[in-house]
Amino acid sequence: MNPETWKTSITKIEPNKIVVRGYLLDQLMGNFSYCQLIYLLIKGELPTRNVGKILDAILVSCVDHGVSPPSCQNAMIAASTGAQLNAAIASGILAINEFHGGAIEKSMQFLEAAADMMNQEKLSPEEAAEQTVKRYLDNGQKIMGYGHRLHTEDPRTGKLYALAQEYGISGRYIQLSRAAKDAIKKLNGTDLPINVDGAIAAVLCELNIPSELANAFFIMARIPGLVAHIYEEKKRYQPMRPINFSLAEYDGPTEREI
């Protein structure tokens, strides 16, 4: 046996056969959605249809946010210099970090800390949330997932939580995220909405996704948006125009019903 042999548990490739986590890829096609495959690849097991649907809703919720996010700006700037599509996308992804997109991971860590306290000390969600918020505030740690630069009531949060309820996925983490909103108001005096990062964090916690992979969900979600902006830049504008992002005006379709 070659001593350098090493193992991978993800995908087996043989002639005319691709087996992902034990399942034939061609049998998965048509029967399971892309979002269910994300779960299969990360967790090793096929999720229910409803898990696929809530992941779909998460990806849809972050699919684009106009030209102000740094990831969009990097992708557009790179495109404007003549970058190939993959390089422009990569450039955008390199701007998805702690302060842009990264709040999901931090928010999951907060909710996991609250859930641990709830378990270990046999507390109600309200008590656990309050004690965790207090500990964060005492330590001068920022609690991520609350408040938004622009949205005083993030429209994506309410919808995501309603869908989680409908799909039977809502549980202690969503309870904790709501209880923490109240605790922050009580202890810190700030009345902040749960933002989309906080809502996604709670749902990913319900699905038992590792927090260190949170950023991947934001990255996957945002790529269609990056691609649309890259394509618009290449089709609509001369290369190397100076792009002043604060002077963009929307000229797409007016608001319409689904």
Q: Which stretch binds its own copies (CB under 8 A): 85-93, 109-117, 175-183, 200-208?
A: 85-93
Q: Is 140 in the site for its own copies (CB under 8 A)?
A: no
User: Which residue in the set 118, 129, 156, 211 belongs to the binding site for its own copies (CB under 8 A)?
Assistant: 156
CB of 207 to its own copies, least distance (A): 14
User: Which residue in the set 116, 153, 165, 191 belongs to the binding site for its own copies (CB under 8 A)?
Assistant: 153
Q: Which residues of 220-235 are buried (b: 16+ CB within 10 A; e: fewer)?
A: bbbbebbbebbeebbe
User: Which residue in the set 120, 138, 139, 251 belongs to the binding site for its own copies (CB under 8 A)?
Assistant: 251
User: Which residue in the set 138, 150, 189, 190 belongs to the binding site for its own copies (CB under 8 A)?
Assistant: 150
CB of 124 to its own copies, least distance (A): 30
Q: Which of residues 20-79 bind its own copies (CB under 8 A)?
A: 20-35, 37-38, 41-42, 44, 46, 53, 56-57, 59-61, 63-68, 70-71, 73-74, 77-78
* CA-closest candidate to residue 18, choices 43, 37, 2, 36: 37
> If you ran DSSP here, which 8-state letter would residue 48 be given?
P
Contact 40, 21 (CB under 8 A): yes
CB of 80 to its own copies, least distance (A): 6
> Residue 196: in which H helix or E strand, if any?
helix 196-206
Q: Exposed, middle or buried, 178 (CB in 10 Å: 0-12/13-18/19+)?
A: middle
Q: Which stretch binds its own copies (CB under 8 A): 92-100, 117-125, 126-134, 179-187?
A: 92-100
C-alpha separations of 172 from 7, 55, 63 in Å: 36, 18, 27
Q: What are phi and psi of 20, to 5 degrees?
A: -100, 115
Nearer to its own copies, 35 or 117 (CB): 35
Q: Is 155 in the site for its own copies (CB under 8 A)?
A: yes
Q: Which of residues 94-113 bind its own copies (CB under 8 A)?
A: 94-102
Q: Which residue has the tokens 């979002």?
A: 35
Q: Which of residues 218-247 bind its own copies (CB under 8 A)?
A: 219-221, 223-225, 227-229, 231-232, 234, 236-237, 239-247
Separation CA 104–CA 207 (nearest Å): 14
Separation CA 89–CA 115 (nearest Å): 36
Give the type of residue at 129. A
Nearer to its own copies, 139 or 254 (CB): 254
Q: Is 144 in the site for its own copies (CB under 8 A)?
A: no
